[in-house]
């Protein structure tokens, strides 16, 4: 098969979208396909002056007509954007696949679908959001009415990663905009295409200049740093690595800007002996290898109760070796490439380190050989390790690739202690048919999200986020609306 995914025609040069215009710049960088290393497009890198123009334009929008729109009007805009993504569905599919090398089916059922759902969900949630209302009585009987007004926060900077580009960006842009703010988005330098296409959709929908801006570039010394340091930004919403979060926090500290951080993880899956065995194997395969392990919620540590440990390892090995790796549109393909050769080098360095640290490689540990142009891409084998102590670096550090380590455990208390023995705290999954056990274990896990007998299922109204190195704050539903709103309490003596 020689299917090389290419970008839609309008994306042959990826421009910034600032103040309602598509803007080129003198400096460009290459957008490279991770499927075969070919250059897909030139990306116009925003310099400090262009970032400044975007922020000023966003400020004008917030202080102008957009900031005075009511929520019904804004909900219509969000639905119009969702309609636009739906109309150009196949172009978004192509953009996501070209940039990331992921399977077509995943891009269709997860990425582009969620892009649409994010706008529709927050359009509808915004309409029913309300502030608090309290009646207060003073000792002399005087009545006071308190009500809380929700107002726009202002100009929000959104910095997003490459692993789920459209999903991450729209997950932020939708609540930002329904609350009446304006946004300046900096997508990852690895995945600039769907953000640019989204700008086209905003443009076609007639959204006023300055409400939605996209600036392209890197982090330090480029558009990312210029944006997070800009004094005209009121808040930064960031998704990415924990150490990048630390750098952004320092930059945001100068202006005492609000921050919302969704960061890395070293998530655990816990399989009890009473679990539905086949469902647990299937669930752990998905939670370890979906999107080639490049989901912040993926499980890199798997703990299996000793009585089923050997059987579980054997089943995982067989299932993993049956996973199809290949072109995004090959029938039955489960895994595409990693995001880049550079990231592959990082993942492979952990494959080597695990062996040095004494791991037994149950399966994988290398790169697949295709004998065609994919050998110039960024593919790796899904990999399972056993035998490492919890103190090994491969058990502590986030790999962000298709890999998991499986360890046996003997008791609830032991596994809870081991799951929590990490600097991260994003998500866990627990596999058991014992309801009492599920209720006993889940509150004791130090994470923001726990799944029982499922993984990755998301209702967009529920809180999302992590503890410790995995993030600051929660988004989703009213948690997003709270973060992206400024509230004013009004107290009236009756
Ligand atoms: P990254 O931190 O390298 O980059 C993320 C974004 O930050 C990019 O747009 C990058 O250009 C920008 N950036 C980098 N340095 C910056 C700086 N100093 N100032 C401003 N911007 C800067 O992350 P990545 O490699 O793109 O993504 C993978 C990471 O994201 C993993 O750690 C993963 O766990 C995490 N992630 C977390 C969640 C979550 O919800 N918790 C979701 C997705 C990804």
Give distance in angstroms: CA of 318 to centre of ligand 1: 33
Q: Is residue 3 part of a domain?
A: no
Task: Please indicate, yes or no, whether residues 284 and 359 belong to a single structural domain of this protein.
Answer: yes
Residue 167 and residue 108: Cα distance in Å, rounded?
A: 12
Give distance in angstroms: CA of 164 to centre of ligand 1: 11
Q: Is 296 one of the catalytic residues?
A: yes
Give distance in angstroms: CA of 225 to centre of ligand 1: 13
Task: Please indicate, yes or no, whether residues 68 and 32 belong to a single structural domain of this protein.
Answer: yes
Q: Which atom of ligand 1 is the closest one to the Cα of 247? A: 18
HSE-up (13 A, CA, CB side) for residue 342: 4
Does the beta carbon of 241 lie inside 6 Å of ligand 1? yes
For position 8, what pLDDT does the model report? Answer: 85
Atom 34 of ligand 1, residue of closest alpha carbon: 264
Maximum pairwise Cα distance, the chain: 86
Q: What is the DSSP string of 208-226?
A: PTTSEEE----STTSHHHH
The CATH number that applies at residue 284 is: 3.40.309.10
Task: Please indicate, yes or no, whether residues 44 and 188 belong to a single structural domain of this protein.
Answer: yes
Does the beta carbon of 371 lie inside 6 Å of ligand 1? no
The CATH number that applies at residue 40 is: 3.40.605.10
Residue 331 and residue 377: Cα distance in Å, rounded?
A: 20
Q: Is residue 182 part of a domain?
A: yes
Q: Is residue 361 part of a domain?
A: yes
Q: Is residue 1 part of a domain?
A: no
Task: Please indicate, yes or no, whether residues 139 and 34 belong to a single structural domain of this protein.
Answer: yes
Does the beta carbon of 233 lie inside 6 Å of ligand 1? no
Atom 13 of ligand 1, residue of closest alpha carbon: 219
Q: Is 357 one of the catalytic residues?
A: no
**pLDDT by residue, tens only, the chain of 494 residues:** 435 578 888 888 999 999 999 999 999 999 999 999 999 999 999 999 999 999 999 999 999 999 999 999 999 999 999 999 999 999 999 999 999 999 999 999 999 999 999 999 999 999 888 889 999 999 999 999 999 999 999 999 999 999 999 999 999 999 999 999 999 999 999 999 999 999 999 999 999 999 999 999 999 999 999 999 999 999 999 999 999 999 999 999 999 999 999 999 999 999 999 999 999 999 999 999 999 999 999 999 999 999 999 999 999 999 999 999 999 999 999 999 999 999 999 999 999 999 999 999 999 999 999 999 999 999 999 999 999 999 999 999 999 999 999 999 999 999 999 999 999 999 999 999 999 999 999 999 999 999 999 999 999 999 999 999 999 999 999 999 999 999 999 999 99
485-493/143-152 β-pairing: antiparallel
pLDDT digits (tens, 9 = 90+) for 121-153: 999 999 888 889 999 999 999 999 999 999 999
Task: Please indicate, yes or no, whether residues 150 and 293 belong to a single structural domain of this protein.
Answer: no
Task: Please indicate, yes or no, whether residues 206 and 275 belong to a single structural domain of this protein.
Answer: no
Residue 16 and residue 176: Cα distance in Å, rounded?
A: 20
Place of tokens 């951080």: 261
Task: Please indicate, yes or no, whether residues 119 and 194 belong to a single structural domain of this protein.
Answer: yes
Handedness of CA 93, 99, 103, 109 (dihedral sign): negative
Residue 262 and residue 240: Cα distance in Å, rounded?
A: 7
Give distance in angstroms: CA of 239 to centre of ligand 1: 5
Q: Is residue 406 part of a domain?
A: yes
Are the CB atoms for 396 and 422 separated by under 8 Å?
yes
Q: Is residue 420 part of a domain?
A: yes
This prediction has a pTM of 0.96
- Structural domains counted in the chain: 2
Q: Is residue 313 part of a domain?
A: yes
Task: Please indicate, yes or no, whether residues 249 and 309 belong to a single structural domain of this protein.
Answer: no
16-18/258-262 β-pairing: unpaired
Task: Please indicate, yes or no, whether residues 475 and 426 belong to a single structural domain of this protein.
Answer: no
Q: Is residue 464 part of a domain?
A: no
Does the beta carbon of 381 lie inside 6 Å of ligand 1? no
Does the beta carbon of 262 lie inside 6 Å of ligand 1? yes
pLDDT digits (tens, 9 = 90+) for 208-249: 999 999 999 999 999 999 999 999 999 999 999 999 999 999
Residue 255 and residue 149: Cα distance in Å, rounded?
A: 24
Kindly state the helix (H) or strand (E) to which residue 268 belongs, with its residue range: strand 267-271
Does the beta carbon of 475 lie inside 6 Å of ligand 1? no
pLDDT digits (tens, 9 = 90+) for 43-68: 999 999 999 999 999 999 999 999 99
Range of the domain at 229: 9-263+469-493
Task: Please indicate, yes or no, whether residues 320 and 428 belong to a single structural domain of this protein.
Answer: yes
Place of tokens 């006993």: 440
16-18/360-363 β-pairing: unpaired
Task: Please indicate, yes or no, whether residues 258 and 274 belong to a single structural domain of this protein.
Answer: no
Task: Please indicate, yes or no, whether residues 226 and 82 belong to a single structural domain of this protein.
Answer: yes
């Amino acid at each position: 098969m020689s299917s090389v995914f290419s970008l839609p025609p309008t994306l042959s040069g990826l421009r910034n979208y600032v103040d309602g215009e598509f803007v080129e710049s003198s400096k460009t960088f290459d957008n490279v396909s991770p499927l075969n290393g070919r250059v897909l497009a030139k990306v116009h890198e925003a310099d400090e002056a262009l970032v400044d123009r975007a922020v000023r334009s966003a400020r004008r929008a917030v202080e102008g007509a957009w900031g005075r729109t009511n929520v019904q009007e804004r909900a219509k805009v969000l639905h119009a954007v969702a309609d636009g993504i739906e109309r150009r569905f196949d172009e978004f599919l192509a953009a996501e696949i070209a940039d990331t090398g992921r399977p077509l089916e995943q891009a269709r059922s997860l990425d582009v679908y969620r892009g649409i759902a994010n706008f529709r969900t927050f359009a509808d949630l915004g309409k029913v959001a309300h502030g608090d209302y309290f009646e207060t009585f003073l000792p002399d009987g005087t009545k006071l009415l308190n009500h809380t007004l929700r107002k726009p926060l202002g100009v929000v900077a959104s910095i997003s990663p490459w692993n789920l580009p459209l999903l991450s960006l729209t997950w932020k842009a939708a609540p930002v905009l329904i609350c009446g703010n304006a946004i300046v988005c900096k997508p990852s330098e690895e995945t600039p295409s769907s953000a640019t296409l989204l700008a086209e959709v905003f443009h076609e929908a007639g959204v006023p200049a300055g409400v939605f801006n996209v600036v392209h570039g890197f982090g330090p010394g480029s558009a990312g740093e210029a944006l997070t340091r800009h004094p005209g930004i009121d808040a930064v919403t960031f998704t990415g690595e924990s150490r990048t979060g630390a750098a952004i926090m320092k930059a945001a500290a100068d202006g005492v800007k609000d921050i919302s951080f969704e960061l890395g993880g070293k998530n655990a899956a816990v399989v009890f002996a009473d679990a539905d065995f086949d469902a647990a194997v299937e669930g752990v395969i998905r939670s370890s290898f979906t999107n080639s392990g490049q989901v912040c919620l993926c499980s890199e540590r798997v703990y299996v109760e000793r009585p089923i440990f050997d059987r579980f390892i054997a089943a995982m090995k067989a299932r993993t070796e049956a996973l199809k790796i290949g072109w995004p549109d090959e029938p039955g393909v489960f895994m595409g490439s990693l995001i880049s050769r550079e990231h592959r080098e990082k993942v492979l360095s952990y494959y080597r380190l695990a062996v040095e640290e004494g791991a037994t490689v149950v399966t994988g540990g290398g790169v697949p050989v295709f004998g065609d142009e994919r050998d110039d891409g960024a593919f790796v084998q899904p990999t399972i390790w056993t035998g490492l102590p919890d103190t090994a670096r491969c058990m502590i550090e986030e790999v962000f690739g298709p890999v998991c380590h499986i360890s046996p455990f003997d008791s609830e208390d032991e596994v809870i202690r081991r799951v929590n023995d990490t600097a991260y705290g994003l998500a866990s999954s627990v596999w058991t048919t014992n309801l009492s056990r599920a209720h006993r274990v889940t509150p004791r896990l130090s994470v923001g999200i726990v799944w029982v007998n499922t993984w990755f299922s998301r209702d967009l109204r529920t809180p999302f986020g992590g503890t410790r190195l995995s993030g600051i704050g929660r988004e989703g539903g009213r948690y997003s609306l709270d973060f992206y709103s400024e509230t004013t309490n009004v107290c009236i003596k009756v």
